[in-house]
Structure 1
């Protein structure tokens, strides 16, 4: 995934917050599996609304109270996006 690629939720996924467990339950029709997203991955999933990877990483850093300067938030965002992409919960499109 490149910084300019846009990311969005995959077609057909369904999700529902589970506040008492502080997670998001996401069903993927592609795999037939239910995924339980922790708060940080939930945030990344919500940010996947068609913006590019760089904007998602910046939004994640701002909302998570982290600064991108050290690279930690960006690295976490990129790992989380790769996981969501691998689970086919999001889709990436070249710019």
Structure 2
């Protein structure tokens, strides 16, 4: 993953907020799995709308900053994006 790569949500996902648990439930028909995204991952997932990795990390830092704890917001954003990519919930947007 590089800073200029654009990311988007994978096709076919179905999601539903679960406010009482402060998470987003995402079903992937491709894998048949349900993913539960906490607040940080949920925010990153929503920012994956064709923006570059750099813009996603910047947007995350502006919106969440250290409000969610855990230190450097930019580093947390990159770790979270790696996880979303690994779970195949987001993918590289076509050029």
TM-score calculated relative to the size of structure 1: 0.90
- Is 1:29 the counterpart of 2:29? The answer is yes
- Is 1:6 the counterpart of 2:3? The answer is no
Q: Which runs of 4+ in 1 moved over 4 A?
A: none
Question: What is the match of residue 20 of structure 2?
Answer: 20
TM-score calculated relative to the size of structure 2: 0.90
Number of matched pairs: 91
Q: Deviations over 1:5-55 (max 9, x none)?
A: 000000001101000100000011221100000000000000000000000
Name the structure where helix makes up a greater proportion of residues.
Answer: 1
Cα offset, 1:93, TM superposition: 3.9
The answer as to whether partners of 2:65 and 2:73 remain within 8 angstroms in 1 is no
The answer as to whether partners of 1:30 and 1:88 remain within 8 angstroms in 2 is no
The answer as to whether partners of 1:7 and 1:91 remain within 8 angstroms in 2 is yes
Cα offset, 1:74, TM superposition: 1.4
Secondary structure of the structure 2 residue equivalent to 1:91: strand
CA distance in 2, matches of 1:22, 1:88: 22
CA distance in 1, matches of 2:73, 2:60: 7
- Is 1:53 the counterpart of 2:48? The answer is no
- Aligned CA-pair RMSD: 1.5
Q: Which runs of 5+ in 1 are unaligned?
A: none
